[in-house]
Amino acid sequence: ARMGRTLVELFYDVISPYSWLAFEALCRYRHIWNIDLRFRPAFLGGIMQQTGNKPPAMLPKRGEYMLKDMKRMAKYYQVPVHMSPDAFQHIMGTSSLTAMRFITAIDMTNPQYLEPLSREFWMRFWSQHEDISQPENILAVARQAGLSAELSQKALEMISSSAVKDRLKDTTAEALKYGAFGMPAVVAHYDGEPHLFFGSDRLELLGSIIGE
């Protein structure tokens, strides 16, 4: 972290709509708050499995609430999340593993594209309701984010490498070590210790704890 700045890590997965809200809000706050924002692409499936957590929609009442909540949050944060009534089937039927490995490969090779690339994945999945699991869709997302065909192709080839797989596993394990059980997991390093905040609706509390 730069001198006197608080390091804030955002552990996220593009399959999580609340991660998108936290991502955009923190992107705005980093120009106002004295923070060093670090994006940490991780795998939500791994976190759910390791902690025995269940998707909110497994509880129908919670699923109903989440649809309304996302609508309000999207409007409040002005982020174009569009929850369709079959959003949960959409999530359950999609694995984000390939997408998160691709994002990890870009983080390892060309981290300057990490922010626009992650944003495009959310746009495609949560705004346009399109697939993000197939290679051709992933390449389309990368193109949209401004990556060259050559760079995207290289990242796509890297996703089956143990370097990328291990990096994603390690980042996911790190989130778990901080106490994460879902996404987004925001970790602020302040006063010599990590403070974990879950979800996109704890940012006022985060600000308060780090003296903002």
Contact in structure between 107 and 41 (CB atoms under 8 Å): yes
Query: Which residues in 61-99 are b (16+ Cβ under 10 Å) and which e?
Result: eeeeebeebbeebbeebebebebeeebbebbeeeebbbb
As given in the structure block, the two tokens for residue 16 are 């999580």
Other CB atoms within a 10 A radius of the CB of residue 29 amount to 16
Query: From residue 172, how far is each of 12, 18, 95, 116, 165 by CA, in Å?
Result: 9, 17, 15, 21, 11
**Torsion angles phi and psi, residue 147, rounded to 5:** -85, 145
Catalytic residue among 16, 96, 118, 152: 16
**Is residue 84 flagged as an active site residue?**
no
| Residues with a known catalytic role | 16
